[in-house]
């Protein structure tokens, strides 16, 4: 029988490579991950992409919970962990076993920051995700709050209830609530940078500058790992 659990605190021994990115909405992380993916594919590496909160199996439940506002801090945290577990079992571990490069748009650190801000016990949420694969490289895209807000609110007519952190009761105004919520999340991320050694990329730089930093950090791994290339 194979090991039932991988462990967030120890390096994995799969042939593949796990690269993740973190950051609040509007930090530019998705653009950077897309550019990284393009660059890797141009070199004919086999790339697998996975995104936070995207499991088909769990989707319906999360949707019901959000729509009917049924989620408490604990069930919000647990349903996202369920989503993550499904993707770990189907979209992260198998491609890593197959020697592919897995790119994850948001990872456990999203839960560590968000759920803690929602009032969930810090240690509990870390233990909850202890089964995750430890990433080989974890980027944290850090914008100033103003830059992020400007980007995210551009062309948006309204903010969703949980997205704006309205369940925290910080403010009745969704915009003000969103602002306060994101500010707290950024503070949590700053703590995570130290705790988990996330590589900080300054999101106030240009897209090209950021991408060049990202690629430089990825290069050494491509030389040392037996990563699969497309036929």
Partner 1 sequence: MKKARFYGQGLPGMEGLELPGKLIVIEGTDGVGRSTHVNLLHDWLESKGKGVLVTGLTRSPLVGEGLKAAKETKYLGHLTMTLFYATDFADRLEHEIIPALRAGFVVIADRYLFTLLARDKVRGADSQWLRDLYGFTLIPDAVFYLSIDVDTLIPRVLRAGKLNYWEAGMDLGLADNLFDSFREYQSRLLGEFDAMTKEFAITVIDSKGSINSVQTKLRKKIEKLFKGTTP
| Chain residues that interact with partner 1, rule: CB under 8 A | 1, 4-5, 55, 57-58, 60-61, 64-65, 68, 70-75, 78-79, 81-82, 85-86, 88-90, 118-121, 123-124, 127-128, 130-131
Least CB distance to partner 1 at residue 61 (A): 3
Least CB distance to partner 1 at residue 137 (A): 24
Residues near 7 by beta carbon (within 8 Å), at least 6 away in sequence: 130, 131, 134
Least CB distance to partner 1 at residue 71 (A): 7
Least CB distance to partner 1 at residue 75 (A): 5
Q: Are 123 and 85 in contact (CB under 8 A)?
A: no
Alpha-carbon distance 76 to 115, whole Å? 8
Q: Between residues 68 and 223, which has the closer beta carbon with respect to partner 1?
A: 68
Alpha-carbon distance 173 to 85, whole Å? 34
Q: Between residues 1 and 154, which has the closer beta carbon with respect to partner 1?
A: 1
Closest to 128 (Cα-Cα) out of 141, 138, 114: 114
Q: Between residues 25 and 86, which has the closer beta carbon with respect to partner 1?
A: 86
Least CB distance to partner 1 at residue 129 (A): 10
| Sheet of strand 47-51, all strands in order from the earlier edge strand to the far edge | 47-51, 101-105, 17-22, 137-142, 199-202
Q: Between residues 56 and 212, which has the closer beta carbon with respect to partner 1?
A: 56
Q: Between residues 90 and 205, which has the closer beta carbon with respect to partner 1?
A: 90
SS3 state of residue 69? coil
Q: Between residues 24 and 58, which has the closer beta carbon with respect to partner 1?
A: 58
Q: Are 201 and 214 in contact (CB under 8 A)?
A: yes
Residues near 214 by beta carbon (within 8 Å), at least 6 away in sequence: 32, 35, 36, 139, 201
Least CB distance to partner 1 at residue 2 (A): 9
In which residue are the tokens 């199996």 written? 57
């Amino acid at each position: 029988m194979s090991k039932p659990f991988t462990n967030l605190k120890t390096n994995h021994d799969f042939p593949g490579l796990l690269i993740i990115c973190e950051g609040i909405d509007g930090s530019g992380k998705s653009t950077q991950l897309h550019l990284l993916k393009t660059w890797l594919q141009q070199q004919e590496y086999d790339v697998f992409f996975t995104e936070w909160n995207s499991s088909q199996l769990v989707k319906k439940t999360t949707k019901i919970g959000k729509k009917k506002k049924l989620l408490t801090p604990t069930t919000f945290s647990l349903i996202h962990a369920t989503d993550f577990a499904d993707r770990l079992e189907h979209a992260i571990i198998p491609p890593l076993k197959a020697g592919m490069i897995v790119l994850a748009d948001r990872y456990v650190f999203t839960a560590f920051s968000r759920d803690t801000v929602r009032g969930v016990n810090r240690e509990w949420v870390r233990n909850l995700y202890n089964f995750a694969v430890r990433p080989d490289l974890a980027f944290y895209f850090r914008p100033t709050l103003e830059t992020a807000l400007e980007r995210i609110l551009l062309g948006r007519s309204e903010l969703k209830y949980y997205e704006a952190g309205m369940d925290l009761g910080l403010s009745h105004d969704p915009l003000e609530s969103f602002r306060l919520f994101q500010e707290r999340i950024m503070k949590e991320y700053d703590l995570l940078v130290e705790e988990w050694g996330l590589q900080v990329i300054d999101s106030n730089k240009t897209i090209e500058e950021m991408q060049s930093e990202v690629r430089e950090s990825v290069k050494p791994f491509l030389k040392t790992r037996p990563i699969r290339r497309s036929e």
